[in-house]
C-alpha cells in the first residue's frame, strides 16, 4: 500500500512539473507573440517606406528629369524616415532608398529609365535638305516618314507613291531631337572618372573569380577579366579592358582607353572607352559610351542597352561613329553625334552592314548607312546612304523593313514630355 501510494505521489509530482513547464511556455508565448507580431509589422513598414522613397524619386524626376541628390532625407513625424540617393548612371538614374521604422530599416534599389518619347512614333525623320526618299519594291515602312522637302517615290518612278501623302510629313526638323548639352554631363563625368587616382592599385593584368578585389581598383596597363562574377565594382584601366568569356559583370563601372567584350555577361553596367569599344561576343544589358567609335559585330543585347558616341573626325581618324557588323542584332537605343568637321570627308555616323536587325532607335545628326536591314523602331538622321552595284545613293532604301516596335524599351532620360518613368528593381 505504501509502495502504491508513493508511486501515485511521484506521478502527481511529474504531472505538476510538466503542467508548470507547459504553463511557462504558454505564458511566454502569449506575452512574446504581440512583440513578435509588432516586430514583423515594423519590418514590413520599413519596406513600405523604402519603396515610397523610389516613388518620391520618380516624382522629382517627373518635375526635373535631370534631378539628382546624394543626401535627400525626409522625416515622417511619429512614423519613420526616408534616406534617398539618386545619381546618374550613364543615361539612366540609379536610386537607393532606405526606409526607417523604429529600430528596423530596409533598402530598395532601382534603375529609372523613361518611355520612348512620342517624337519617335515615326519610322523615319530626315533632317537634311536632300529632297525626298526613294524606296525599292522590297522595302516596307509601317509608320510615318518626315522629310525636309520632297516626297516618297518607288524605284525610278518620278511621281510620289499613290496615297503616300497620308503617311508623309514635310517639315523642317532639328538635327537632333534633344539638346546635345543634355548628354554632355554624362560624357564629362565618364572622362572625369577615367582620370581618377582614388582607388586600390591593381598590380596584375588578369582578374579571376578566385581573387578578392576592392570596390574601386586602378590598373596602369591592359586588364582582362577571364572568369568569375564581379558586382558593384568600379574599375579604372589606363589601357584596354577586356571582358573574357567566363566573366560576369553586374552593376559595375568600367573606365578605360578601350573596351573589348570577347564574351561573358554584363548587366546593369556602364562602360566608357575613350578611344573605342569593340563587342564581338557575350550577353549584354549595359551601357557603352565612347569618344571615338563603338563596333558591335556579335553578341546579344537586351532592351536596356544603350550606345552613345560623340566624336570629332580629323584627317587622321581611322574609325569613328557606331558600326554594326553583318548579321548582328541589337536591342535598345543608339545615339551617334558627329561634331563639326569642316573640310573633312564624313563617313556615316551609324553604319549597318547587311542583314543587321535593330529593335530600337537609331539617332544621329549625321548619316546612316543602311541596306538589307530590319529596323523595329525608328531612324533619325540627316540622310540615308546606301551603296548598290558600286554606286552611292542618298536617301534610297534597298530591301529594308522599318517596322513599328511594340515592346517596352528603356530610353535614356532625355527628350520631350510627356514622360512616363519605368523602374527596374535591383538586388
Residue 269's alpha-carbon distances to 218, 247, 424, in angstroms, are 17, 13, 14
Rounded Cα distance between 125 and 175, Å, is: 10
* pTM more than 0.85: yes
Which long-range contacts does 389-394 make (Cβ < 8 Å, 24+ apart)?
Answer: 393/134, 394/130
Q: Decide: residue 206, CB within 10 A, 0-12 exposed, 13-18 middle, 19+ buried.
A: middle
Q: Is the peptide bond before 275 cis (omega within 30 degrees of 0)?
A: no
In DSSP notation, 193-216 reads HHT---SEEP--SEE-TTS---SE
pLDDT in the model for residue 414: 94
pLDDT at residue 36, as a whole number: 46
Give the pLDDT score at 320. Answer: 80
Check whether 4 has a pLDDT greater than 80: no
**179-194 pLDDT per residue, tens:** 888 898 899 999 999 9
Q: What is the pLDDT of residues 101-156, one digit of tens each?
A: 988 999 999 999 999 999 999 999 999 998 899 999 999 999 999 999 999 999 88
Q: What is the mean pLDDT of residues 288-296?
A: 96
pLDDT, tens only, 240-276: 999 999 999 999 999 999 999 999 999 999 999 999 9
Amino acid at each position: 500500500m505504501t509502495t502504491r501510494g508513493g508511486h501515485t505521489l511521484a506521478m502527481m509530482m511529474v504531472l505538476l512539473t510538466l503542467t508548470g513547464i507547459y504553463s511557462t511556455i504558454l505564458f511566454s508565448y502569449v506575452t512574446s507573440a504581440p512583440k513578435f507580431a509588432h516586430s514583423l509589422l515594423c519590418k514590413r513598414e520599413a519596406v513600405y517606406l523604402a519603396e515610397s522613397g523610389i516613388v518620391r524619386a520618380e516624382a522629382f524626376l517627373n518635375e526635373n528629369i535631370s534631378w539628382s541628390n546624394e543626401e535627400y532625407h525626409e522625416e515622417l513625424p511619429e512614423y519613420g524616415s526616408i534616406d534617398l540617393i539618386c545619381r546618374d548612371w550613364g543615361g539612366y538614374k540609379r536610386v537607393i532608398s532606405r526606409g526607417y521604422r523604429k529600430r528596423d530599416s530596409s533598402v530598395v534599389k532601382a534603375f529609372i529609365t523613361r518611355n520612348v518619347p512620342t517624337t519617335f512614333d515615326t519610322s523615319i525623320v530626315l533632317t537634311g535638305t536632300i529632297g525626298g526618299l526613294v524606296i525599292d519594291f522590297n522595302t516596307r515602312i509601317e509608320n510615318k516618314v518626315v522629310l525636309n522637302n520632297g516626297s516618297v517615290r518607288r524605284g525610278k518612278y518620278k511621281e510620289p507613291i499613290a496615297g503616300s501623302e497620308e503617311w508623309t510629313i514635310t517639315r523642317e526638323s532639328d538635327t537632333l531631337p534633344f539638346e546635345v548639352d543634355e548628354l554632355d554631363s554624362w560624357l564629362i563625368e565618364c572622362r572625369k572618372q577615367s582620370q581618377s587616382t582614388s582607388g586600390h592599385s591593381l598590380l596584375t593584368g588578369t582578374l579571376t573569380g578566385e581573387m578578392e578585389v576592392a570596390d574601386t581598383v586602378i590598373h596602369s596597363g591592359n586588364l582582362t577579366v577571364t572568369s568569375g562574377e564581379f558586382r558593384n565594382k568600379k574599375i579604372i584601366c589606363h589601357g584596354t579592358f577586356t571582358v573574357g568569356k567566363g566573366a560576369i559583370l553586374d552593376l559595375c563601372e568600367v573606365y578605360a582607353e578601350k573596351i573589348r567584350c570577347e564574351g561573358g555577361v554584363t548587366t546593369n553596367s556602364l562602360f566608357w572607352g575613350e578611344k573605342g569599344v569593340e563587342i564581338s561576343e557575350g550577353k549584354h544589358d549595359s551601357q557603352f559610351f565612347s569618344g571615338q567609335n563603338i563596333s558591335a559585330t556579335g553578341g546579344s543585347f537586351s532592351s536596356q542597352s544603350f550606345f552613345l558616341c560623340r566624336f570629332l573626325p580629323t584627317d587622321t581618324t581611322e574609325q569613328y561613329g557606331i558600326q554594326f557588323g553583318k548579321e548582328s542584332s541589337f536591342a535598345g537605343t543608339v545615339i551617334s553625334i558627329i561634331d563639326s568637321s569642316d573640310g573633312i570627308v564624313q563617313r556615316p555616323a551609324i553604319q549597318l552592314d547587311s542583314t543587321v536587325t535593330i529593335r530600337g532607335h537609331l539617332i544621329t545628326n549625321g548619316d546612316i548607312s543602311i541596306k538589307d536591314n530590319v529596323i523595329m523602331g525608328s531612324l533619325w538622321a540627316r540622310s540615308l546612304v546606301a551603296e548598290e552595284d558600286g554606286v552611292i545613293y542618298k536617301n534610297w532604301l534597298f530591301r529594308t523593313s522599318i517596322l513599328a516596335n511594340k515592346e517596352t524599351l528603356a530610353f535614356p532620360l532625355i527628350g520631350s514630355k510627356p514622360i512616363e518613368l519605368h523602374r527596374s528593381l535591383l538586388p
